[in-house]
Amino acid sequence: MSHLMNTYARLPVAFTRGEGVWLWDEQGKRYLDAVAGVAVNGLGHAHPKLAQAICEQAKTLIHTSNLYQIPKQEQLGTKLAQLAGMDKVFLCNSGAEANEAAIKLARLYGHNKGIDSPAIIVMEKSFHGRTMATLTATGNRKVQAGFEPLVSGFVRVPYNDIASIKLIAEHNQSVVAILVEPVQGEGGIQIPLPAYLQELRRICDSHGWLLMLDEVQTGIGRTGSMFAFQQTGIIPDVMALAKGLGSGVPIGACLAKGAAAEVFKPGNHGSTFGGNPLACAAALATLEAVEEQNLCQQAAEIGAFIRDGLSNQLAGTAGVVQIRGAGLMIGVELDRPCGDLVKLALAQGLIINVTADSVVRLLPPLVMKRDEAQQVVDMLAPLIKDFLAQK
């Protein structure tokens, strides 16, 4: 009997080592990883630069506290601010904590403007984390069920629907911010209209609201640029990062620009482990590797290659609704629940994920090469065809 709490429906496999886009289990069976720890292992497994940075840091200093100066935290803050064109960075441990920081920042921003009950506009089918505030912001009833009472102060609208936000702006004077994913990941790899973020930027500017982007899954090269917003011509006021930032070492970040960057004062927020020397060393090594290996461009090219390959092999297949994505964030939507595909793929040595019940989600490491991408296509397309033919 396991003494671990029953919080995960775990698959019957335990991995013991990895290299690049490959993983091996306890029996020595090899698997092609097309999920990357749910968008975490952007550099793949056992990346030499990352391993060296972690080992060197662990031999000298793993953790102190945010009560003291942390030089690597200063280096990482400067690097992230330069890459994003933003001003200030708060470092934490996870995506949920990064979004929690954004939510607290927005509320304090509102109170500083004299708004007693500041509200944040959030989206249906979104996912922002599993703390009480972030699960309330999340637009998925399954995540919230059983944890009521939820946190107040959120106004929910459909994703990709500008008209509904304009309507709220006319009738709700308490709104202070919009929190939105540039691409919805857990919601089924939902790609908004090209001008969506630009419209949100204009609305926020005209009403004095903060535009807050949850780039926990889309950030660090995942969609073909360092951050997804860099493909839209806008800059957010606040941005949350995590997942690919530490390549498996837990770290999150909440970045802010302009007036938003000046909201937090000493004592407003904090983190025990956030931005410690080990996590910062991992993040700095990750960012250096992404730039040195030109992984943003590689993600864009390999992602398009996989989408084209799946589109060709699945063309005319009844039951395939749409193949969509941005960079190496790819969804294959079927016309029925397809969770069984995860185990079928695993049995054949391919690691995939299903989200929103009917969307096969691929989030391969950014280091994936073309021949490996071809193997993903050649393994997955027949699985989907067989699955649809039998159901």
96 is in an annotated binding site: yes
- CA gap 177, 301 in Å, rounded: 34
Element (H, E) at 7: none
Number of residues that this document lists for the chain:
391
The catalytic residue among 127, 227, 229, 264 is 127
> Has 216 been labeled as part of a binding site?
yes
217 is in an annotated binding site: yes
- Looking at residue 330, its amino acid is I
Pick the catalytic residue: 243, 257, 264, 387? 243
Helices (H), the chain: 36-39, 48-60, 71-84, 95-112, 132-137, 141-144, 162-171, 196-207, 277-292, 295-313, 340-347, 370-390
Residue 127, annotated as binding a ligand: yes
Q: Is 104 a catalytic residue?
A: no
Q: Is 386 annotated as belonging to a binding site?
A: no
Instruction: Extract the tokens encoding 135.
Output: 């699960």
What SS3 state is found at 172? coil
- 130 annotated to a ligand binding site: yes
Active site residue 265: no
- CA-to-CA distance for 66 and 46, rounded, in angstroms? 29
Interatomic CA distance for residues 218 and 191, integer angstroms: 11
The secondary structure of the chain in percent helix, strand, coil, rounded to multiples of 5, reads 40, 20, 40
Which whole-number Å values give the CA distances from 123 to 30, 166, 168, 312, 356, in the listed order? Answer: 39, 14, 13, 33, 15
Among 33, 72, 90, 214, which one carries the catalytic annotation?
A: 214
Q: Is 273 a catalytic residue?
A: no
Is 272 within any annotated ligand binding site? yes
Tell me which residue of 257, 243, 246 sits closest to 90, measured CA to CA.
257
State how far the alpha carbon of 287 is from the alpha carbons of 146, 291, 331, in Å. Answer: 39, 6, 26
Annotated binding residue 357: no
- By annotation, the residues acting in catalysis are 127, 214, 243
Summarize the annotated binding site as residue ranges. Answer: 95-96, 127, 130, 214-217, 271-272
Summarize the annotated binding site for N(2)-acetyl-L-ornithine as residue ranges. Answer: 130, 271
Summarize the annotated binding site for pyridoxal 5'-phosphate as residue ranges. Answer: 95-96, 127, 214-217, 272
